[in-house]
Amino acid sequence: MADAYKANAVVGQSGGPTAVINASLVGVIEEAAKHPEIQKLYGAVHAVAGIVKEEFVDLGGLSSQTLELVASSPSSAIGTSRDKPDEAYCARIIEVFKKRNIRYFFYIGGNDSANTAHIVNTMADKANYDVRAFHIPKTVDNDLLVTDHCPGYGTAAKFVASALMGDDLDNRTLPGVKIDVIMGRHAGFLTAAAALGRQRDDDGPHLIYVPERPIPMDKFLAEVDAVYKKLGRCVIAVSEGIADGDGTTWAKKIVESGEVDAHGNIQLSGTGALADFLAAEIKSKLKIKRVRADTFGYLQRSFPGLQSAVDADEARRCGREAVRLAMKIDNGSVAMKRLGNGAGYGVELFRTELQNVAEKTKSMPDEFINAEGNNVTEAFVEYAGPLAGPLPKTEYLGNRPRV
């Protein structure tokens, strides 16, 4: 391996934003400033789209006050993009890199971003223009391979757990069935986080449905009915990617199925459609009067002032580590290894190959889902608890002995 070039660097933020992707950006900025090999650090405005259009901001010389504000701000501070670069797109990227003497490429994102880093790195090699390319993990879905978990997940999990704590208390005071639809088309980690705030034996969510366990409507209804009959109420956390017994997502079925008409028709493209559909099913089939449904939407990934301290710290460390690695080696993706749980929780960072992360996703392991497929296990709570960090304690008095 050749010595590190004395050259410019570029950093980009790709895909859906999170509440700590800016902490990773700041990690890159502050570590880059320590290495004289990195001359100028460009921020690619709107990710790869900014590179090919040469829309750059200078990330040098920012005050520590500004950097701390950036690190604590949700969403992507230099803009993101959902472009998936093909070879021609990457050729243009390398052309800009050559023109600007860019030899370091840091890309914060999910598995697509790891793939982009891999393609850029490989194509640059072929073009005899060395570019060191590093992927920094980010996703609220927590679905990247190799790493124990992903920066961005812990804070989103904290939001979802908090939301369900409040919603469960709301449901206690005005009993009925409450459905919360949570992000996660393929992986159930974020929906599963709904369990993290449970404090009392009868706290909700009482049922948790993840995409990893398809569920026929009749089983779903029977399970809701059983909880409702037992507790007089039922709080349900559902992944947006929940699927029917045949594996087809309910979202897709709502679009295709004639059944929908029986419940008043559903706007095909609407964000509230799945929640509204499930509420209508419960109302009409179980004859339960008070049924409410919320779809959490973007609040899950962008709510300010709610960072998990562990998540923000790890996101920043991952950004720093990518720069350190780039001083020593040609490419890689930063990953985390868990060192312990509970009070002994901690991680160490390590490098993995870009191809190990690129274009692949991880699902919830079986040990995190209960046998019935309608809740999470204690093993999941041990896994995700430290990532979300401490949650508020609550008190409910309505269960006290009657006088």
By CB under 8 A, what part of segment 170-189 binds its own copies? 170, 172-174, 178
Binding to its own copies (CB under 8 A): which residues in 273-292? 273, 275-277, 279-280, 283, 292
Ranges assigned E (strand) in 75-233: 102-109, 132-137, 177-182, 207-209
20 vs 158: CA distance, rounded Å: 12
Residue 394 binds to its own copies (criterion: CB under 8 A): yes
Residue 365 binds to its own copies (criterion: CB under 8 A): no
Nearest to residue 105, comparing CAs of 46, 60, 42?
42
Does an H or E element contain 287, and which?
A: none
Residue 393 binds to its own copies (criterion: CB under 8 A): yes
Estimate the crossing angle of helix 64-72 against helix 309-326, to 10 degrees.
Answer: 120
Residue 384 binds to its own copies (criterion: CB under 8 A): no
Among 24, 76, 116, 155, binds its own copies (CB under 8 A): 76
Nearest to residue 16, comparing CAs of 154, 240, 160, 183?
183
Minimum distance from residue 161 beta carbon to its own copies (Å):
10
Instruction: Check if the beta carbon of residue 244 is closer than 8 Å to that of residue 216.
Output: yes
Residue 402 binds to its own copies (criterion: CB under 8 A): yes
209 vs 241: CA distance, rounded Å: 9
Residue 157 binds to its own copies (criterion: CB under 8 A): no
Residue 132 binds to its own copies (criterion: CB under 8 A): no
- Give the residue numbers marked as catalytic: 141
What's the DSSP call for residue 369? B
Nearest to residue 308, comparing CAs of 198, 385, 395?
385
Instruction: Using DSSP, state whether 169 is helix, strand or coil.
Output: helix
Question: Candidates 30-38, 42-50, 210-218, 318-326 — which segment interacts with its own copies by CB under 8 A?
Answer: 42-50
Binding to its own copies (CB under 8 A): which residues in 237-266? 263-266
Minimum distance from residue 372 beta carbon to its own copies (Å):
27
Binding to its own copies (CB under 8 A): which residues in 54-73? 54-59, 62, 66, 69-70, 72-73
Among 79, 109, 184, 188, binds its own copies (CB under 8 A): 79
Enumerate the β-bridge partners of residue 249.
243
Q: How many residues bind its own copies (CB under 8 A)?
A: 82
Token pair 């979202």 is found at: 251
What's the DSSP call for residue 270? -
Among 28, 38, 45, 238, binds its own copies (CB under 8 A): 45
Q: Which is nearer to its own copies, 66 or 248 (CB)?
A: 66
Does an H or E element contain 340, and which?
A: strand 331-340
Q: Which is nearer to its own copies, 228 or 303 (CB)?
A: 303
Nearest to residue 97, comparing CAs of 60, 54, 38, 45?
54
Binding to its own copies (CB under 8 A): which residues in 297-336? 297-299, 301-305
229 CB-contact burial (10 Å; exposed 0-12 / middle 13-18 / buried 19+): exposed
352 vs 239: CA distance, rounded Å: 30
Please report, in angstroms and rounded to a whole number, the separation of the first and last CA atoms in the chain: 78
Minimum distance from residue 156 beta carbon to its own copies (Å):
12
Q: Which is nearer to its own copies, 275 or 354 (CB)?
A: 275
Minimum distance from residue 230 beta carbon to its own copies (Å):
18
Minimum distance from residue 165 beta carbon to its own copies (Å):
5
Minimum distance from residue 283 beta carbon to its own copies (Å):
8
Evaluate the omega torsion of the peptide bond into residue 74 and state whether it is cis, within 30 degrees of 0: no
Binding to its own copies (CB under 8 A): which residues in 12-41? 13, 16-17, 19
Among 129, 345, 350, 396, binds its own copies (CB under 8 A): 396
Q: Which is nearer to its own copies, 50 or 241 (CB)?
A: 50
Question: Candidates 127-135, 141-149, 211-219, 269-277 — which segment interacts with its own copies by CB under 8 A?
Answer: 269-277
Minimum distance from residue 24 beta carbon to its own copies (Å):
14
What's the DSSP call for residue 7? E
Nearest to residue 363, comparing CAs of 102, 229, 184?
184
Nearest to residue 117, comparing CAs of 47, 20, 193?
47
Among 34, 82, 200, 252, binds its own copies (CB under 8 A): 82
Binding to its own copies (CB under 8 A): which residues in 188-217? 197
Question: Candidates 118-126, 168-176, 210-218, 241-249 — which segment interacts with its own copies by CB under 8 A?
Answer: 168-176
3-state secondary structure labels for all residues of 87-115: HHHHHHHHHHHHHCCEEEEEEEECHHHHH
